[in-house]
Amino acid sequence: MTDQADLLILGAPVWTADPARPWADAVAVRAGRVAAVGPEGAVADLRGPSTRVLRLDGGLVLPGFQDAHVHTAAGGLELAQCDLHGVEPGEYAATVARYAAGHSDAAWVLGGGWVMDAFGTEGPRLATLDAVVADRPVLLESTDGHSAWVNSRALELAGITRATPDPPRGRIERDAAGEPTGALHEAAMDLVADHAPPPDQAEWEAAVERGQAHLHRLGVTAWQDAAVEPDMLAAYRAVAERGRLSGRVVAALRWDVEAGPAQLAGLVERRELGSVGRLRAGAVKIFADGVFETRTAAMLTPYLDGDGRPTAELGIGMLDPAELAEAVTALDGHGFDVHVHAIGDRAVRDTLDAFQAAAAANGRRDSRHQIAHLQFVHPEDRPRFRRLGVVANAQPFWSCLDGYMRELTLPFLDPERAGWQYPWASLRRAGAVLAFGSDWTVSTANPLEEIEVAVHRVAPDDRGGEPFLPDERVDLPAALAAFTAGSAYALRLEAETGTLTPGRLADLAVLDRDPFDAAAGPIGDVRVLATLVEGEPVHADPSLDLGG
């Protein structure tokens, strides 16, 4: 019998993400594709003598999550370094000391994951690190990746003193006397980082596989790596060539703001090199600005000083609007999907203007241009996403009243602008395609925790807390769709993945509980029992009988 299924999944509701048939009872998989979804009886008809059966005891089956903006390779590297993610700030020094003692042969102590709100606006201090590591340089990135915490040895090696000017697009944090205090923002990070030994090819390849395994455990089957440098691309390519890339990957090649249009030929070449197996290097990432917390987000009106008085600061636009439009137009003309980091309302507006200029110059293409982060979106700019066909690439985990918001953001904002933040529901109502991403390692890579915040606008570690701008909540089906079908569109994978529809690839996740069931408890506590790519497990809980 030729139409028998290779695998049947029974015993749990199936949420398909397909608006034409959102719910089913069972899924059949044949030759890596969804052969049928529907009532259990009908699907079970495809059972033959060699069909494997995964019999679940409740839970939920849904399309594999697709992370529209994540740093998988860099995250995989960080997992092997001095990792401060989730560490209490009071334990940072002890954690660094333990790591340094355990890696006495490493010339540098490298790592990251500290949170900015542990230190206030002036940032962390040299002395804290000097007290635990004096013999070697220490370089620790903040969890958002926009600042670094260094020790005295690192400053010495980089030749940074009170006489060193701030580099373009960066800032050396200083005390009242002008002495560097140990925090470096944006481009100033490179003054030290350029001296640190770069990971070699083998380390990057291991990092790609480690990052991939981390995402698969969380139900993720595809992602966009949101800033891929040439050495990372080479590692992805090597892993793909060995047949070890089980996830589908869009590599967003990084646009160098210094290099201008001369870099286009190199990007086109890397797109060719980076299109192997499940890897496709068809996107380019541009940073339009920095982040609000270090006052490097590009704003339309000035930052307040913390006591409600306006300053002269408007943040740092990484490219002036004409340069940005020129870069976007050139990339669009070469068939790239352009992925722009924009936090401030001015950065968002300049980027939309750039996409408009590209469409005027090149005509409308089937592009997947996208703006990521979208912390401040002026209400007049919200309808432009639909009109220009720009995907809203959103990081829902940030849309809550956490320390970054309470201490480093709200005090520096007028109330009107404070209400413009992370407007996911408004963008949806205006017709924008919403794609969700974690921005791991900036935030957790767990899509279910991200979705919990999208639905409630409350942080999972503060579940009794006040929701942040509750009108911008999106409901559970919309949040799940943004992490499946929406991100599939952003990744140009929507013809083959993103919904559980007959004929599409059987990339799916199995959850231990059904988050639609209120009795199942908080969404972020739901666990992933199995992750399948083309019907084959890339992660499976030991408790599960995959019928192999």
Judged by the rule CB under 5 A, the positions of this chain that interact with Zn ion are 226, 439
Number of DSSP helices (H) and strands (E) in the chain, helices first: 18, 24
Whose Cβ is closer to Zn ion: residue 439's or residue 494's?
Answer: 439
Whose Cβ is closer to Zn ion: residue 16's or residue 395's?
Answer: 395
SS (H, E, C) 51-68: CEEEECCCCEEEECEEEE
Whose Cβ is closer to Zn ion: residue 71's or residue 513's?
Answer: 71
Q: How many CB atoms lie under 10 A from the CB of residue 364?
A: 11
Whose Cβ is closer to Zn ion: residue 373's or residue 492's?
Answer: 373
Whose Cβ is closer to Zn ion: residue 377's or residue 508's?
Answer: 377
Q: Report angle CA 335, 253, 206 to the nearest 5 degrees.
A: 135
Whose Cβ is closer to Zn ion: residue 70's or residue 529's?
Answer: 70
Q: Write the DSSP string, 454-511.
A: HHH-S-GGGTTSPPSSGGG---HHHHHHHTTHHHHHHTT-TTTSSS--TTSB--EEEE
In terms of Cα–Cα distance, which of 506, 487, 382, 401 is closest to 436? 487
Shortest CB 298 distance to Zn ion, Å: 17
In terms of Cα–Cα distance, which of 420, 373, 376 is closest to 393? 373
Sequence-ordered list of residues with C-beta below 8 angstroms from that of 237, at least 6 positions apart, any chain: 273, 274, 276, 279
Token duo for residue 132: 């635990």
* Residue 182 to residue 533: CA distance in whole angstroms: 45
Shortest CB 69 distance to Zn ion, Å: 6
Shortest CB 445 distance to Zn ion, Å: 12
Shortest CB 42 distance to Zn ion, Å: 43
* Residue 210 to residue 275: CA distance in whole angstroms: 21
Shortest CB 107 distance to Zn ion, Å: 28
Whose Cβ is closer to Zn ion: residue 225's or residue 452's?
Answer: 225
Q: CA distances (Å), 511 to each of 93, 108, 144, 155, 529, in order?
A: 37, 41, 29, 48, 5
* Spatial contact of 485 and 17, defined as CB atoms under 8 Å apart: yes
Shortest CB 439 distance to Zn ion, Å: 4
* Residue 107 to residue 198: CA distance in whole angstroms: 12
Whose Cβ is closer to Zn ion: residue 439's or residue 514's?
Answer: 439
Whose Cβ is closer to Zn ion: residue 442's or residue 488's?
Answer: 442
Shortest CB 478 distance to Zn ion, Å: 23
Q: What are phi and psi of 428, to 5 degrees?
A: -65, -45
Site of tokens 């594999």? 64
Shortest CB 67 distance to Zn ion, Å: 11
Shortest CB 442 distance to Zn ion, Å: 6
Residue type, 488: A
